[in-house]
A and B are shown apart, each in its own frame.
Chain A
Amino acid sequence: KAGVTQTPRYLIKTRGQQVTLSCSPISGHRSVSWYQQTPGQGLQFLFEYFSETQRNKGNFPGRFSGRQFSNSRSEMNVSTLELGDSALYLCASSEPFSSGTEAFFGQGTRLTVV
């Protein structure tokens, strides 16, 4: 089956703009999580959605938001971009509450804020 698909793969935005990233999970997976990866902070959890509801949230400001649609596809939005938001944004999908809830990650969207 197809893996986790993230679009776009690369993005360049200007400080102050907003951006929307998309994630299509593996078919049948209902849980989608988002992560930010930077050289300084490593991989940090942003939030997790299950059945269109945010179930977990990391320690990021309110400029970072997300949503999940009825087909489990998810989007994350970052408003008022700052230079420090430049990062690789990864999404992962999983089948929640199964005996082996390994997460499958997409290739990520590399966001550069200039």
Chain B
Amino acid sequence: DAKTTQPPSMDCAEGRAANLPCNHSTISGNEYVYWYRQIHSQGPQYIIHGLKNNETNEMASLIITEDRKSSTLILPHATLRDTAVYYCIAKMNRDDKIIFGKGTRLHILP
């Protein structure tokens, strides 16, 4: 699985868009970019995933660069409940093994 690199922590003001970057320069052509988050003391929660095109769902948007070497998760209107550790993962759809890195600890400031 491709290794991903994320900043260890980020701050975002409540109500603003939170933009979480992820580098995955060694991603292979059949690996998807997945995002999960883990709120304190809970199991990780799936957010979104994509291959090449930008994706949007009710939780977030995922912007993948054209060369697929990096991506950005966007939480459009961050709330205090979005405070969590966010994990960016590159994996093939047919492989159910998820390799977690250290993620980004997102602090939402009131």
Q: Tell whether, in the assembled complex, residue B96 and residue A94 are in contact, meaning their CB atoms are under 8 Å apart.
A: yes
The digit string for A77-114, where 1 denotes a CB below 8 A from any CB of B, is 00000000000001010101111111111111000000
Q: How large is the interface on A (under 10, 10 to 19, 20 to 34, 35 or more residues)?
A: 20 to 34
A14 within 8 A of B: no
List, in ascending order, chain B residues with CB within 8 A of A105's CB: 43-45
Report the nearest A residue to B96, measured CB to CB. A31
Q: Nearest chain A CB to B90's CB is how many angstroms away?
A: 13
- A36-59: which have CB < 8 Å to B? 42-45, 48, 50, 55-56, 58
B97 within 8 A of A: yes
A4 within 8 A of B: yes
Q: How many residues of B contact A (CB 8 A)?
A: 20
B13 within 8 A of A: no
A-contacting residues of B (Cβ < 8 Å)? 34, 38, 42-46, 49, 87, 93-103
Q: Which 3 A-B pairs have the closest CB atoms?
A: A105-B43, A43-B100, A102-B46
Q: List 18 A-B contacts (CB under 8 A).
A: A42-B102, A42-B103, A43-B38, A43-B100, A45-B99, A48-B96, A55-B96, A56-B95, A58-B97, A90-B44, A96-B96, A97-B93, A100-B49, A101-B94, A101-B96, A102-B49, A105-B44, A107-B43
> Besides the contacts A100-B93, A105-B45, A107-B43, what 9 more A-B pairs have beta carbons closer than 8 Å?
A35-B98, A56-B96, A90-B44, A92-B43, A96-B94, A96-B96, A98-B93, A103-B46, A104-B46
